[in-house]
Chain A
């Protein structure tokens, strides 16, 4: 595997800075993390497979500062829905929905962060990340501040991130730039982010805000309340996807450029002494300006087995309504042949659906009190988890064929070492 040059340079420079300032060891000064996830999706004939490795290093040369560098990647193969067609069109045509939509991508993200910590739980953090894909570039700045109050029983945190992203597209017919019905999907990512004729880029800016309040109420109960908001401005379609919008007419997916999103998340943790474990509940409500409303409920039960092992079981229920402009079939709208509405999209993520996730996790931790493991390791944590998610789509079909057996599988192993 080869890191994208700019991401690699950033990762190496930040890692070098981390190691340079780490200097002589005082207590634990270095932490290494790596994780490896595999994702497989069986529905929709896509057979999407994603392998996601990560590597992180955190140095704490002094008690008041943490310096962090990290890298993550997604290695993607499979197929995607290339042409969105509905049941009306599917009755008289056999549109090629996924077979020619091969996806082979390699997403790389390099990042660095500095966190300044105060004596009373106060901290300030600033970071930058750079991500590349065959057809996407992302520059992201993020800052956050947190503080404690009332003898550490109350924590407040504010965070903000700004993304300056670009997505590749084909150059559309310049005589019809105001006619989205004539736009055609991007054929492939060849020539993206070069001066190749026929390729261009669109800007996407993303502002994300988050404020949270965590509170310990009793010796066995704490809560967290989080408000999140996001403003997205720019090209938010899948540039490769075409949508059948009329009899024989296929146009590039076309959705609004502006989107404002907000969510409120409440979390509660309650310790059950009799079980020597805790229950954690998460409830989230979400709304955006595309009229998507959703709710998620997640329940986790985690129990300690002896001093070093924790096991956790998780269930998650999710429900969302569709975007106001979403339809499974965009033909037969405005006379004589459509399209229906001003916007159209093949995103099943914008359609109404239910999902249920179940999962297990086991964590093995060793923190010796008086000596180091193998003479140099201060802490060791190995974790493994697996989850299965089932989707039930209310309306989304593949040219009129309902989606069945819509399962996704995800497994992760991770290792954390402290020195």
Chain B
């Protein structure tokens, strides 16, 4: 509950840290995007997911056994 409160507080405070539209050019650069090449990276993420005992942080989709 405390964690949720902290996150809500940070999200609210985020409004004080806005970057004006005219200053967002670098933020729009492809090197600053977390998922701009997500389709290219999907194969590697799929392999990692099948070789580790953990998950998370890369979307909710997925399927298949990966038993081998």
Spell out A's residues near B (CB within 8 Å). 33, 35, 37, 39, 48, 50, 52, 54, 56, 72, 74, 76, 78, 80, 103, 105, 107, 109, 127, 129, 131, 133, 135-136, 138, 140, 142, 144, 149-154, 156, 159-161, 163, 165, 167, 208-210, 213-220, 222, 224-226, 228, 230, 238-240, 261-265, 267, 269, 271, 273, 277-278, 280, 282, 284, 286, 288, 292, 294, 296, 302-304, 310, 318, 320, 323, 347, 349-350, 355, 357, 359, 361, 363, 365, 383, 385, 387, 389, 391, 408, 410, 412, 414, 416
Contacts and interface: CB of A to CB of B under 8 A. Distances in A.
A209 B60 CA distance: 7
A286 B64 contact: no
A365 B67 CA distance: 37
B56 A269 contact: no
B65 A159 contact: no
B34 interface: yes
A228 B56 contact: yes
Contacts of B23: 219
Interface of B: 7, 11, 14-15, 17-21, 23-27, 29-34, 37, 39-44, 46-48, 50-57, 59-65, 67-68
A159 B60 contact: yes
Nearest to A104: B68
Contacts of B59: 159, 210
A278 B34 CA distance: 11
Nearest to A412: B43
B24 A216 contact: yes
A149 B31 contact: no
A263 B55 contact: yes
Contacts of A292: 53-54
A35 B39 contact: yes
Given A261-B54, A271-B26, A154 B31 contact: no
Given A263-B56, A278-B31, A320-B52, A151 B20 contact: yes
Given A35-B40, A80-B67, A136-B64, A310 B30 contact: yes
Name, among A152, A160, A288, the residue most crowded by chain B CB atoms within 10 Å (CB to CB). Answer: A152
A64 B67 CA distance: 40
Contacts of B47: 37, 39, 50, 408, 410
Contacts of B63: 109, 129, 131, 138, 140, 163, 165
Given A52-B43, A271-B31, A226 B56 contact: yes
Contacts of A218: 17, 19
Contacts of A56: 39
Contacts of A159: 59-60
Contacts of B31: 269, 271, 277-278, 302-304, 310
A144 B7 CA distance: 20
Nearest to A282: B57
Contacts of B52: 294, 318, 320, 349, 355
Contacts of A261: 54-56
B55 A154 contact: no
Contacts of B39: 33, 35, 54, 56, 414, 416
